[in-house]
Structure 1
Amino acid sequence: MLMITQTRTLWLFTTLITLTLMARQGLPTLALSAAGSGQPMAPSLTKVALRHAGSSDAFRPPQPTNLQEIREALGYPEPARKAGIEGQVILRVWVDESGRYVRHEVEESNHPLLHIPCELFAPYLDFRPALTRGEPVPGTVAIPFTFRLSDMTE
């Protein structure tokens, strides 16, 4: 009996959170009659205004402000160039609501000689913070670094 009660409570809690998140995102939700009212819980569709990407409620991820300078300072890592290694590194960067770097992870890389130098430069990235409804919030952004030997000018 205890297990059933815990499972039902967890289900209700999960459902409540899901419906709350759906409503906040402007998605249609189901309205159910109050428990214990004697009436069957018949779902009815609740109208909610949908928001689009151009609205003031849209989320905007953090935007790097000095990425070009970082890329120029990084250049082509010399050991990778000498070894003939090419590829792309994608760093996932976490940014706080003030636009400050918090941490990063390597999301994609084909060789450590490429991603380790990128990781060393990541903390020096500056950002405009993410925005939700025009307010600064923490967020993440994927930042690509592409290395091609054919792009080298010597």
Structure 2
Amino acid sequence: MKESAPGEGALGLDQPTRVLHAVPSPYPGEARRAGIEGRVLVEMEVDERGNVARTMVVGEAPKLLADAAVSALTQWKFRPHTYRGAPVKVRLRQPITFKLDPPDEPAPLTR
């Protein structure tokens, strides 16, 4: 399996991986109600067909957020890496940030 890295052109990389279809990670209702925010870093293995074959959460993340991020990322579709003309598996990392919207400011009182 080929690990993606910057500057791979000299190593025979024909075409880097590119996202063709991304599914947004919905904010879990329970996490929203509890005021839980965070960043989830997910390592994905993208197979030769551009499908997410495996995922792994890297580091610490609230379980509700990690589950939502992984659920969405497994639905993503990629144009696969090609190496010397052939599609290859790659590992990529994708951060997903869950941030609660700031509360709306009340309108100023008018007289």
Task: With the length of structure 1 as denominator, give the TM-score of the two structures.
Answer: 0.54
Query: Aligned partners of 1:95, 1:59: CA distance in 2, in Å?
Result: 16
Aligned identity (percent) is 32
Query: Aligned partners of 1:123, 1:90: CA distance in 2, in Å?
Result: 14
Paired residues in the alignment total: 98
Q: Deviations over 1:19-56 (max 9, x none)?
A: xxxxxxxxxxxxxxxxxxxxxxxxxxxxxxxxx64547
Task: With the length of structure 2 as denominator, give the TM-score of the two structures.
Answer: 0.71
Query: Aligned partners of 2:44, 2:102: CA distance in 1, in Å?
Result: 26
Query: Aligned partners of 2:79, 2:62: CA distance in 1, in Å?
Result: 30
Q: Does residue 65 of structure 1 match 2:16?
A: no
Report the 3-state secondary structure (helix = DSSP H, G, I; strand = E; otherwise coil) of the residue aligned with 2:95: strand
Partner of 2:45: 94
Partner of 1:107: 58
Choose 1 or 2 for highest CA Rg: 1
Consecutive unaligned residues in structure 1, runs of 5 or more: 1-51
**Cα 1:152/1:64, change in 2 over 3 Å:** farther
Question: Residues 76-91 of structure 1: matches in 2 within 5 Å?
Answer: 76-91=27-42
Further displaced range: 105-114 or 138-147: 105-114
Partner of 1:40: none
Report the 3-state secondary structure (helix = DSSP H, G, I; strand = E; otherwise coil) of the residue aligned with 1:65: strand
Question: Residues 3-152 of structure 1: matches in 2 within 5 Å?
Answer: 53-55=8-10, 57-58=12-13, 61-67=16-22, 70-71=23-24, 74-150=25-101
Given residue 115 of structure 1, which amino acid in structure 2 is its aligned partner? Answer: A
Consecutive unaligned residues in structure 2, runs of 5 or more: 1-6, 105-111
Report the 3-state secondary structure (helix = DSSP H, G, I; strand = E; otherwise coil) of the residue aligned with 2:92: strand
**Cα 1:109/1:145, change in 2 over 3 Å:** farther
Greater RCO between the two (CA within 8 Å, min separation 6)?
2
Deviation, 1:65, is 1.7
Query: Aligned partners of 2:103, 2:81: CA distance in 1, in Å?
Result: 34
